[in-house]
Chains A and B, each alone.
Chain A
Amino acid sequence: MKILIAVGSKEYSGPTLQVGIKVAKAFNASTTIVDVGEKVSEFSTKVVGLTQERMESWDFDRPGVDVLEWAFKYLAENNFIEPQQIEAGFPKTTLVEKDGRRAEVYLKGTVCDDVNLILRNGDIIAELRDEVQTEFYDVMIIGGSGKRRMVHDMIQYIDSSIFVVKNYDPSQEYQILIAVDDSPGTRKAIKYGVRVAQAFGIGVNLLTVSKQDHFGEGYKGAADRAAKFMHRSGIEAKNVFKVGDPAKTIVDTAGDNHIIIMGASTRSPIKKFFKGSKPLDVMENCRCPILIVK
């Protein structure tokens, strides 16, 4: 299992890193933390690079290194990296640059072997997509964004599962809400749900929503199988059946004290592009963290 945690700044990315490390521990996952810096106009890329070289000779770090240093401190405080590395401090001198737009530091982890810190520059969706495609991550963890276009592009174009740490409050007591139906995505969502529930030590609500006022065999069977799987895994779970618009019902039921887990849409990419999808609607409107499993 490989996890990519996308952070943006020390001020706003604390919860993302906190949740990301918790999930990484639960999955014993090889973990990478990436900061994507702002895209520089192509007219000035070379001269900005040259200026940064001069800045380094005056003992200034290039933008983004401070974010990685902050992430390193967080990893150190949580004993996620080996003691020798914590003692040696953040190894900024080993920040290896590739292609002028990606630089990385390799660390030795305690929970997993590899912990990497990466700096990228450019369009955020293009950079994250490239990172996920070249390094084959299973889950990407990222903070919430208010921009509809960004949320849409993330779900549409990034190949991995996506955990959006939206409105996460460490003092809040969360439960997991898994959206259950008879689609293939639900089976994957259930498996992820078990691991996340174990990581956070919390119970699970299995929500099945029907647009009509009766539930077909497919839905009932999926809900039963999900509940049995949860019980076999030692997770406290209960089935909830509701009637209404699926996306709205999931958002209302989740409120601000659940972590929503649902499968990705199986609609064709063209339909998703023009009409959107249920996960997109939920992700846009929910007030809590959400994991879309692909």
Chain B
Amino acid sequence: MLGFSHRSLTNFLFWVTQKKWFLVTMMVGLILLFLPTPVGLTLEGYRTIIIVITALMMIITEPIPLPAIAMYILVAEVYFGIGTANEIASSFMNDAVFFIMGSLMLAVAIIKQGWDTRIALGIIKLTGNKTANIVFGFTAISAILSSFIGEHTVAALMLPIAMTLIRFTSDDVSKVSNLSAVLLFSIAYGCLIGSIGTPSGGGRNVIMITYFRDADLSISYLDWMMKVYPLVLIQIPIVAWILQKSFVPEYVHLDSSVRKLVIQVAKSRKMTGRNTVAAVIILFVFLGWVFFSESIGLGTIALTGVLSYMVAGFVRWEDLNRNTHWGVIILFGATISLGFNIKATGAAIWLANQVLNLFGNIMETFPFMSDAIVVLMTTTLANVLSSSATVAVLGPVTLNMGSDALHTGLVTAIASAFGYFTAVAAPACTIVYSSGMIKAKDFLKVGWKVGLMSMILLVIYANTYWLFIN
């Protein structure tokens, strides 16, 4: 056909098959581009919304590599006249991107220290050998650790501990399917509920703080903790309970497997001076976040921690380079740039007004409905694309949806952690799923219960506790 060989036609068709979502996205973008600009929206604002829609479609379907999506966002912003090349470039890099870069590298540095054996001993000492206590312990430790050092780091450290307990209980996976599910979900969901606790719990929290600063609002590390941490603590026992009701463990006690785990851990290396120094660096990073993050930024402090690890020789640059996903960092930079331009072009206010026009009456009659709508929108988006990307593009919109931007912003950041429904919604879920011990459908089976609980609890919490402490 037209001089093309069968092979070149086959190659072309294969490309079409592999890139079908890219082609569909471009078609949608083109159609939107030729539609008239909606009333009340500037041309730049409309074009920004088109970039948001097309970028989100590609982030969800991943037809091209993530850094390519980032490049698409950046060049489209310039070509569409949303900003000059220099303006777009400067909106691309800020403290939130520094933080994401620093936390991904800190994760590598921390995981390389092999602290999982210490954590294993700690959990067992706290919980004993009763399965219910162990599940609670896994949920609590995952939540508390991830509230400070990020969900992906904690999930990576906790997974081998849970898998070892499962293996020591039975080699036949069919005999421990519920035990596997309950332990692995306690890690994943523990990490998710914990990641909201402090600003350093996740990149999304730092992105929201960046938006707060841009709107001349301010919240310190301790203020955030005071407002949000009680919600973490309330959710821990509820999640542990829901998990045990959904997957009733086959064993009430794990006597022999706990004993074997303790023996295995005892065989591993003892705490060395190097381990102590590495832990002290993390402690200083935490103290830096608490006391200096408002003046020098969370990202700068995270990068200082990474720098200290490299200077001390605790992690090699080769390991950091190999295990840090630079493409993800570039993509988050691009989505944050997009977020700033949603606000700058007036698209954020226009989108917020559309939601208010739609639900304004209900929101006036029932004030809590405003939070419920934000929670629903954020949770839905967070389950189909990354939570940080959700906050980056949704944050500027939701900040305009309530009378108290700080309140709505916090609700958005918290709800973005409710990625319980799919195995790909959050890194912690993907990590436990990669063990091969739980099925994709299990996430929906238990995720809806935990998700519903978290959403209802957040709306009640935000409209009672926050009013009380204010």
Contact = CB atoms under 8 A, between A and B. Distances in A.
A270 to B, nearest CB: 6
Given A50-B323, A54-B111, A157-B10, A42 B65 contact: yes
Given A40-B434, A41-B62, A268-B1, A51 B156 contact: yes
B336 interface: no
Contact of B324 (A42, A46, A51, A268): A46
B156 A63 contact: no
B436 interface: yes
A156 interface: yes
Interface residues of A, number: 30
A270 B13 contact: yes
Given A54-B157, A268-B1, A42 B327 contact: yes
A269 B9 contact: yes
Per DSSP, chain A at the interface is helix
Given A41-B424, A44-B430, A44-B431, A269 B114 contact: no
Interface of B: 1, 6, 9-10, 13-14, 17-18, 62, 65-66, 104, 107-108, 111, 114, 116, 152, 155-157, 159-160, 163-164, 167, 323-325, 327-328, 386, 424, 427, 430-431, 434-436
B325 A46 contact: yes
Contacts, number: 99
Contact of B160 (A41, A44, A58, A269): A58
Given A50-B108, A54-B111, A269 B6 contact: yes
B160 A42 contact: no
A243 interface: no
A52 B9 contact: no
Nearest to B107: A47
B427 A47 contact: yes
Interface string A35-67: 000001111111111111111011010010000
Contacts of A245: none
Nearest to A46: B325
A264 B428 CA distance: 45
B142 to A, nearest CB: 14
B107 A45 contact: no
A60 B436 CA distance: 12
Contact of B159 (A55, A63, A123): A55
A273 interface: yes
Contacts of B159: 51, 54-55
Given A46-B325, A50-B323, A51-B155, A41 B430 contact: yes
B160 A46 contact: no
A99 to B, nearest CB: 12
Contacts of B62: 41-42
A48 B431 contact: yes
B94 to A, nearest CB: 20
21 contacts: A43-B424, A44-B431, A45-B325, A46-B104, A46-B323, A47-B152, A47-B323, A47-B430, A50-B107, A50-B156, A51-B159, A54-B111, A54-B157, A54-B160, A58-B160, A58-B164, A60-B163, A63-B436, A123-B18, A157-B10, A269-B9
A264 to B, nearest CB: 11
A41 B422 CA distance: 12
A154 B17 CA distance: 12
Contact of A157 (B14, B116, B152, B163): B14
B9 A126 contact: no
B115 to A, nearest CB: 10
Contacts of A47: 107, 152, 156, 323, 325, 427, 430-431
A169 interface: no
Nearest to B156: A51
Top 4 A-B pairs ranked by shortest CB distance?
A44-B430, A58-B160, A46-B325, A51-B156
A46 B431 CA distance: 10
A73 interface: no
Contact of B328 (A43, A49, A57, A60): A43
Contacts of B18: 123, 126
Nearest to A129: B14
Contact of A60 (B1, B160, B386): B160
A159 B323 CA distance: 34
A53 B431 CA distance: 12
A42 B157 CA distance: 20
B156 A54 contact: yes
A153 interface: yes
Interface string A260-294: 00000000111001000000000000000000000
B104 to A, nearest CB: 8
Interface string A135-160: 00000000000000000010011000
A41 B431 CA distance: 11
A270 B424 contact: no
Residue of A42, A47, A273 ringed by the most chain B CB atoms within 10 A: A47
B327 A44 contact: no
Contacts of B431: 44, 47-48, 51
Contacts of A156: 10, 13-14
Contacts of A270: 1, 9, 13
B430 A273 contact: no
B365 to A, nearest CB: 39
Nearest to B17: A153
A284 to B, nearest CB: 18
Contacts of B436: 63
Contacts of A46: 104, 323-325, 328
A44 to B, nearest CB: 4
B328 A269 contact: no
Contacts of A45: 325
A51 B434 contact: yes
Contacts of B10: 156-157, 269
A43 B323 CA distance: 12
Given A42-B327, A51-B434, 9 more contacts: A44-B427, A50-B108, A50-B111, A51-B159, A63-B436, A123-B18, A156-B14, A157-B14, A269-B9
